[in-house]
Amino acid sequence: RPLWMVTFSFLPLAGILFAMSCHASTECKTLSWSEVTPEYERRVEPFTQLFANDVLTALKSKIAGSGTPLELLDVGCGTGGGALLASSLGFSPIAATDVSESMVERARRRAEGSGREGIECLACDGQNLPSEWSGRFDCAVAIFSVIFFPDPARGLQEVLRCLKPSGRVAMAAWGDRSETPAFQIFRDAASQVVPDLAPKGKPRRITGSKESLSALLAEAGFEHIEVIGPVTHTLLLDSPEEYYLRFALTSPPSIEMISKMDAKTAAAFKEKVEELAKIRGGQPDGSIALDSSAYFAYGSKPASFL
């Protein structure tokens, strides 16, 4: 059978494609995140947590001095790493939300296992948050989440509604292709091996920049906007094969693309990915190290917001 069927023999491919393409959508009903969640937690979260720490630490410093615990909304919480980090930094209580029920269930189990109190995990649509949350939170974060929504401005407007007057928001967005070399190898390998299947056009997300994020927050109704970046961290993986698996098991466009290859082509594609990973990020010990950068945007809800 085709190599992609062997590679993903432990994952129901159709369910993955459906669920992952719907992760940020308001219209899809997730079906198979239970199959993908462990791979996300293992392969994606460790890298995004580096940026989450930057965002949350800076957010806390911007609103320090209140003397009381700060209630936090985490939109697009994934498997809960950001919520746990926020709790360790003193944010409490925390409402962590994601459209994926299995992601939220994993976040809930991790919160319970950590012994930390005050973390509420709820599966809900980030573009349609609970009506009773209006004016509830002191601050909110959307770390690599709202940028994937079908309507990012609408998602941020929901965040605005849920904040108290003068409440603060912080969001993170990946930079453009030149600023995210760790994410470009699959695209470049596909252009060489399977040009007809290679991704075309812009990424399926908002690309972070000082201009784009300033405009997005302003459109949603925030004021006192500040954008920081690019902020760079290094994606570290044990081997070229681990680099391949990091994206082959967690990136919906990559999963879909590989599913369309026959065995010979899939093997050639995997070989090219690993070759490029060695060329661009290979280390003397055989590991891979590649940088990617993000932008962080902060804003405030108007004090006079009605």
CA distance linking residue 81 with residue 84, whole number of Å: 5
CA distance linking residue 269 with residue 263, whole number of Å: 10
pLDDT at 66: 62
pLDDT at 26: 37
Nearest to 252 by CA among 4, 19, 7: 19
Intra-chain end-to-end CA distance of the chain, in Å: 60
pLDDT at 65: 66
What pLDDT digit, counting tens, does each position of 18-38 carry?
333 333 333 333 334 556 788
CA distance linking residue 45 with residue 93, whole number of Å: 22
In degrees, to the nearest 5, what angle opens at C-alpha 72 toward C-alphas 139 and 117? 160
CA distance linking residue 266 with residue 192, whole number of Å: 13
pLDDT at 19: 36
pLDDT at 17: 36
Low-confidence residues of the chain: pLDDT under 70: 1-35, 65-67, 201, 203, 305-306
What pLDDT digit, counting tens, does each position of 188-245 carry?
999 999 999 988 767 678 999 999 999 999 999 999 999 999 999 999 999 999 999 9
Nearest to 304 by CA among 138, 156, 166: 166
Q: Report whether 144 contacts 174 (CB < 8 A).
A: yes
Nearest to 102 by CA among 94, 113, 91, 110: 110
pLDDT at 38: 86
